[in-house]
Structure 1
Amino acid sequence: MNDDAVNWLRQPGRGKYAKIETERRFLLQQMPTDTSAPRLIEDRYIAGTRLRLRRVEVGSQVVYKFCQKVRPDENGPSTVAITNIYLDEAEYKTLRQLPAATLRKTRRVWQVGHHTFVVDEFHDDLAGLLLAEIELPDPSFELPLPAPIGNEVTMDERFSGGYLARATPEERALILAL
């Protein structure tokens, strides 16, 4: 018998549709000159939930996603179980009516040797903030860090998307001053 037929009861972040991601995040001192594939991302963190509504735009093409991120270990922000559902525009517009905190950024791909980073350049009140992320097999993976990578902020909750979206103007100013 199919495992899912027997084990139908699931908790958020568990089951065959939840993908485990282990990421590390770093501040960047400047935008690397050799990035590619820019895409504009608008994230809407739904109030009172672990849900995120995402709109990704490249030229005239748009992709809509509804996502849940759950930390298997609440004290370990580097690892999350992520479940995505792809939406059409009508579904996106319906969910967009929910109260949410918004975060806008341009994401680019940065290839460094055999490693692929994504670099997020934030907009609006977070203009000037540059973060590089890389997905790794585990959080302790040794990684050569090229310039212009600065301090690692993986374990600093202030650099998670949900926190950045909900931060007050004073909290955002402190983040930008780092």
Structure 2
Amino acid sequence: MIEIERKFKVVSEVFKAEAFQQNRIVQGYLCSDPERTVRIRIKGNKGYLTIKGKGNESGLSRLEWEKEITVSEAELLLTLCEKGVIEKTRYDVQCGNHIIEVDEFYGDNKGLIMAEIELKSETESFEKPYWLGEEVTNDERYYNAYLSKNPFKNWKR
């Protein structure tokens, strides 16, 4: 139930040609408090309820609990979510022994492309493809819960 994850900006769309799978995702937050988030997600033809705790000091690890629910349940729960639904396509890319999940955002977050990789430990090494850019693991601006309230289109760049 502990998620260990690193996040990166993506500097090239070459990953699309390397992806073995892609899914459209729509998600909203019943609670986006940084201490605990409660997310509703529709990914492909499945629904999910996910609860995440606050990250540790490094930002790499946090408690995560997820339960599959029906799409109709997820659609109903999305109507109760806070303002700011996230829409994106997730591309799964095999890289060595790991799968890197790359999210291309739409709507108010269009133009943002992020990658994340789940690890077994905070010190586990992994192959870093050339299209991974700056690491933003501990930068809360790149958390989906933050993006739902402070969309990428409003950032000063």
Task: Report the CA distance between 1:134 and its aligned residue.
Answer: 0.6
1:115 shift after superposition = 2.2
Tell me, what secondary structure is at the counterpart of 1:105? strand
Residues 55-111 of structure 1, C-alpha deviations (whole Å, 9 max, x = no match): 112xxxx101111011363x3432121111222244223322213231111001111
| Paired residue type of 2:22 | P
In our comparison, the structure showing a higher alpha carbon Rg is 1
- Most deviating of 43-52 and 20-29: 43-52
Choose which of 52, 63, 81 in structure 2 pairs with 1:81: 63
Task: Indicate the percent of aligned positions where both proteins have the same amino acid.
Answer: 27
The CA RMSD measured in Å over matched residues stands at 2.0
Q: 2:2 is matched with which residue: 15, 20, 32?
A: 20
Measured at CA, do residues 135 and 99 of structure 1 come closer, stay the same or move farther in structure 2, by a change above 3 Å?
A: closer
Partner Cα separation in structure 2 for residue 139 and residue 158 of structure 1: 21
> Could you tell me how far 1:30 is from its partner in structure 2?
1.4
Q: 2:28 aligns with which of 44, 47, 64?
A: 44
Task: Please report the TM-score for the alignment, with normalisation by the length of structure 2.
Answer: 0.85
Alignment match, 2:52 = 69
- 8 Å CA contact 1:30–1:130 kept in 2: the answer is no
Unaligned runs of 5+ in 2: none
Match of 1:55 in 2: 42
Q: Structure 1 residue aligned with 2:79, among 76, 87, 97?
A: 97
Partners of 2:87 and 2:50 in 1: how far apart?
16
Give the structure-1-normalised TM-score: 0.76
Describe the superposition over 1:118-173 as per-residue Cα deviations: whole angstroms up to 9, x where unpaired: 11111112212111111112223233322111100001111111111111566x43
Instruction: Kindly report structure 1 stretches of 4+ aligned residues shifted beyond 6 Å.
Output: none
SS of the counterpart of 1:165?
A: helix
Amino acid at match of 2:129: P
Give 1:30's aligned residue.
Answer: 12
Judging changes above 3 Å, is the alpha-carbon distance between structure 1 residues 89 and 111 closer, same or farther for their aligned structure 2 residues? closer
The corresponding residue for 1:110 is 93
Name the CA shift for 1:169/1:108 in 2 (closer, same or farther; >3 Å). Answer: closer
